[in-house]
Structure 1
Amino acid sequence: MKTISIRTSQNVTIDYELPSTFQRIIAWLVDLVLLSATIGILTLLFYWMLAIMGWSSIIETLFMYLVLVPIWFFYSLFCEIMFNGQSVGKRAMGIRVVKLNGDIPSLSDYFMRWAFRMVDIMFSFGSLAVILITGTEKGQRLGDILAGTTVIKVKSTQHVNMKELLNIRSFRNYEPTYERVTVFSEEDMLAIKTILNRSSRFPNQKDTYKLLQKTAVSAAKKMDISVEKFTSPQQTKQFLHTVLQDYIVLTR
């Protein structure tokens, strides 16, 4: 199982699983089946109306080049732009396009991925895409390499959502310690929870304590709290747990 570390805009590193080549092929096949079915249905409806209305061959040509061709060629580009890096097939397989630097992919990034589908998939019958995705460390086909993107599993082993966060424990009669935690966003809290999960799963990993300490110091500075208290992993983890609990109590 390949993983990739992506640094978020909050300067926090989160590990994501990379989908297998097989999963990406299945996502592509789901899109292909959906696209073929859509074009087939539209074509049947058009010719049914053509027979009824008696339209000329010019209308048939216009329909092909103004409706069918754009749908076929621009489907993946449109979906990834509109649905945050996912097509129907990618959503079905639980995968998504992301930037390696943690930013949200731009229109030019999606366009670059789409433009090189011709080389990656169509001209090489998918062989180049399979070779690159399988052989590169970050699971990138040519379009991904040029756009600085890759495809990750949306539900990774390090992923948590706000519902899980709110159910950490019962906070009846709990008194918050840090009232300034309201300066954080839900995304900040999810990042902190992810890092705590990672520290629990990999306590002996080389960079685990550094990541915990860096996160704690950043959170403390944002709340104007002294950072001198973070002298051990246990103190650092306890501080971050308290921040999470305070945030839940004060914002739920």
Structure 2
Amino acid sequence: MTRPSRGLGREVMIVIDLSSLSTLPAGTGTAPWPGHEYAKGWGVFGLPFDSGHVLALRVFPESDFGPYRSLWHREPGGDWSIHVDGPRLDTACPRYYGAACRHTAHARIDVTWTGRTSLRVTVDSPALDWTMTVGTTRLLDVVNAMSAALPLATWRPQPLVRARELIARTLGLGRVKMAGVMPNGHNGKLMPERMYFIESSRATLDGTDLGKPVRAKDNPMIGNIPLPARGVLAIGQATWEILDQEEHERTRQEVNGAP
């Protein structure tokens, strides 16, 4: 079964099944290399709308500090907010990106796979109802197969990270960065193992229709970090260098009792 993409080029979307993402095990763990903290799962890397709004989603069932979800929103004027469904803001996305936000807060975030490739996200405050359908293409299938075959260690050398960024550009993601200094000062690395294009989407935020998804001329920025110029759902993990080892260990202990 195939269906054409809508407004994002002439790719032919190939339907896959991502509903198993709802059953990923939740828990805590450690980063793949020393001196780092991590989060593992999936999310919408970023999705620009023709209204100027941008949405992003992070669903991390596993991290140093336990499971959490977060909803990112950029207003047309450029102000970012991050809303977290988790025990603490400082153990979720605001830990790394909060300095670039006008507002961070807790929220209830419900994520439901309504089909093999269809997702619905609802948030209580702000009131968000966001649906989307995702798919892949033959080119993206090749990229995903190559990425899955490479060992995690290949994310450490900067030339190999840069090569992945160049491949992402050929996929229409613009000048996206997989590594850099996060707004809160952490050296971070985003390591998608698989990516899928958002084929169609609709969202209403506090009663306002955000319009149609688009491929943005310029990459949306949060701080100095560019998000993709087109809608992408990614599966993988991210790591950040620990800024303060004592704070990291204390916070980890407070959240989950880990040593």
TM-score between both structures, scaled by the size of structure 1? 0.25
CA radius of gyration, larger in: 1
When normalised by structure 2's length, the TM-score is 0.24
- Structure with greater proportional helix content: 1
Whose strand fraction is larger, Structure 1's or Structure 2's? 2
Determine which structure has greater relative contact order: mean sequence separation of CA pairs < 8 Å that are 6+ residues apart, divided by chain length: 2
